[in-house]
């Protein structure tokens, strides 16, 4: 997991920044919730109460506001691109497999046949 700032709603971010200026953040989230409610930062207090573990991570890594505007919808997803042609090995047909079985001789003749075919 990379060290990215925790994204929070814009109003919560504004209240967290104001709260940080007024008090020193503590990892005791109950104390922080109480101080936020006392100062009138109800959105931040509610968010901290609902997201205790995320608040503790954001306390260390920092917070940032979520980008404004509507979130992506299914219509915003681009269409799937055409698949690129893949390189494949030339496959021998079934007639070459049956021909190899019909050839008389042992493994040495099969090796000679294979060598003459490719070299």
Instruction: Return the pLDDT at 43.
Output: 92
Q: Looking at residue 4, what DSSP letter applies?
A: P
Backbone conformation region of residue 69, classed left if phi is above 0, alpha if psi is from -120 to 50, else beta: left
CB 8 within 8 A of CB 58: yes
Give the pLDDT mean for 96-116: 71
CB 37 within 8 A of CB 53: no
CB 14 within 8 A of CB 63: no
Render pLDDT for 48-101 as a digit per residue (tens, 0 to 9). Answer: 999 888 888 887 888 888 887 666 566 677 778 888 877 776 666 555 555 555
Instruction: Return the pLDDT at 19.
Output: 86
Beta strands 6-8 and 63-65, pairing class: parallel
Cβ-proximal residues to 14 (8 Å cutoff; 6+ apart), any chain: 65
Render 62-105 in DSSP notation, one character per residue.
-EEEPPSSPPP-GGGSPPPPPPPPPP-PPPPPHHHHHHHHHS-S
Render pLDDT for 17-45 as a digit per residue (tens, 0 to 9). Answer: 888 888 876 777 788 889 889 999 999 99
């Amino acid at each position: 997991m990379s060290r990215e700032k925790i994204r929070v709603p814009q109003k919560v971010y504004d209240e967290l920044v104001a709260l940080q200026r007024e008090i020193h953040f503590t990892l005791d989230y109950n104390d922080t919730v109480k101080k936020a409610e006392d100062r009138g930062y109800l959105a931040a207090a509610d968010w901290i109460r609902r997201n205790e573990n995320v608040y503790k991570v954001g306390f260390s890594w920092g917070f940032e506001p979520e980008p404004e505007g509507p979130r992506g919808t299914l219509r915003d997803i681009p269409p799937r691109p055409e698949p690129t042609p893949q390189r494949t090995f030339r496959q021998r047909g079934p007639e070459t497999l049956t021909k190899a079985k019909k050839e008389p001789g042992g493994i040495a003749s099969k090796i000679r046949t294979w060598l003459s075919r490719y070299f």
